[in-house]
A = this chain, B = another copy of it.
């Protein structure tokens, strides 16, 4: 069972994550978070020494959830099917969110790359972990001729992730699923994805 303190800490992170996904990290103030949670200032500072500590806690929690999302969406009977399901789940995730919020790592990357070294390094790590997971499945898919094998799995994985981030960017602008759908479709065509073997 979680202690009351742990529950409060989680609630702060949850509310703060929501605000950051809508307003950006720079634009979300400690007072915004206090208003959203209804907590007293002292209670928030009991859990987090300041905005930097809270920011990293938000990103860590988001990373953990995203890695779970990856493990649950990169599934299927063949590696090609795993990739296809992953693309579908990316689409569903953003569609269900009404194309609001986008990708917290992409958003924070663009917002903080030139401002906060610690945050940049953390997000680089998330993208590296994401790339590694995709690369592993692409490699298996290549071995079964479900993905083209004339380009290395690492390069394909990076292109998939860059294309998804760009697609989310375009879809969010117009709250239009077509933009992300087209990006995902073109990624599949470009990597020559086949779901079945043979």
Given known contacts A165-B166, A186-B151, is B158 in contact with A109 (CB within 8 Å)?
Answer: no
Q: Is the CB of A109 within 8 A of B163?
A: no
Count of chain A residues near B, Cβ 8 A = 47
**A103: nearest chain-B partner, CB-CB:** B110
Q: Is the CB of B162 within 8 A of A120?
A: no
Chain A, interface SS category? helix
A191 to B159, CA, bound (A): 12
Which A residues between 93 and 119 are near B, CB-CB below 8 angstroms? 100-102, 106-107, 109-111, 113-115
Task: A159-B182, A161-B166 given; name 8 further pairs at CB < 8 Å.
Answer: A24-B24, A102-B113, A114-B172, A120-B174, A155-B186, A158-B179, A162-B169, A190-B191
Interface residues, chain A, CB within 8 Å of chain B?
Answer: 22-24, 26-27, 100-102, 106-107, 109-111, 113-115, 120, 123-124, 127, 150-151, 155-156, 158-159, 161-167, 169-170, 172-174, 179, 182-183, 185-187, 189-191
